[in-house]
Structure 1
């Protein structure tokens, strides 16, 4: 049975932190590939994406195009509406019966897991890879946070350390809105695209 990692999100925009997390998860958990899944609308965020769905999808495609084990899926964008991970996993497992899926999330999202749609059924279907990432000011995530997660979910989460890069899509949008450079924070091809399309210029 092959092991595939899944990384969902708005990717608004995708940045090098996403790629580092995917690469380290592959190494640590023996994943064959990582599939990136831009979502139509995140259920636990109030803010609507700043870039259009096709623009976010294109930035992800450009960012991962040179990695032989990275793929991009558009099933959540095609489905539209609020993107629930359970629905995505149900679709993927129906089409990939001989695949073990691992959902990659930042450790800042781990404590949100009890609020996820149909979380107990979802956790019975897949494992979660929690990649350690810093908070907005660069402090590493607190390894003591996991005990706050219900035990039934703790046993479904694999913790993977990654370099502590204080980068977020929010920071990138804010910098662009303020007329500041985001070069080297966003993969080169995606960076050229967002500059060409003048994305996020009204943010911040």
Structure 2
């Protein structure tokens, strides 16, 4: 059976923290690939600040060069709010030979009891929790904990810096920064 990691999010924009998390989980759990799944509209947030096409373009540039990273646009194609249960049901139906490992930050581990149809979801996927500043990986549901080097970067912080015209060098891949500048994303 193949072992695939899933990293979902808005990736608005994708940053080095996303890439570090994905690579560390891949290595620690001996996963064949990591699939980045950008959401169209996440259920726990407002709409993304940037359109799906721009976020996918940035994500493509961010993962370029890592042969273990892929993009799956299932949630963008679905449109509307994306619930993990719906995504995982569809992925399992078309990938019967895959054990999926859904990567979440410690902040989301605490929120698991509130996820839509969580009791069914834990039958479809193995949750992987990664540490995040000010959070612990304590859950009432089974969660595999993976220690990663702490890197306190968020897309919100990057958007705020860009709105104030503060450099994001070394926070996002150079190619992502180039797209942000070229398309004038996140300007106030």
- Tell me if 1:173 matches 2:156: no
Task: State the match for 2:174 in structure 1.
Answer: 188
Query: Shift of residue 50 of structure 1?
Result: 0.8
DSSP 3-state at the match of 1:142: coil
Query: Shift of residue 163 of structure 1?
Result: 1.0
Whole-angstrom CA distance in 2 between matches of 1:142 and 1:73: 29
DSSP 3-state at the match of 1:134: coil
Runs of 4+, deviation exceeding 2 Å? none
Query: Shift of residue 108 of structure 1?
Result: 1.2
Task: State the match for 1:70 in structure 2.
Answer: 69
1:11-22 map, 5 Å: 11-22=11-22
Query: Shift of residue 142 of structure 1?
Result: 3.3
Q: 1:92-138: per-residue Cα shift (whole Å, max 9, x none)?
A: 11111000000001111101111111111000111111011225xxx
Give me the TM-score of the superposition, normalised by structure 1: 0.90
- Tell me if 1:87 matches 2:73: no
The answer for unaligned runs of 5 or more in structure 2 is none
The answer for unaligned runs of 5 or more in structure 1 is 136-140
Give me the TM-score of the superposition, normalised by structure 2: 0.97
The total of aligned residue pairs comes to 188
Q: 1:177-201: per-residue Cα shift (whole Å, max 9, x none)?
A: 0110001100111111111111110
1:54-69 map, 5 Å: 54-69=53-68
Whole-angstrom CA distance in 1 between matches of 2:44 and 2:112: 10
Whole-angstrom CA distance in 1 between matches of 2:150 and 2:13: 19
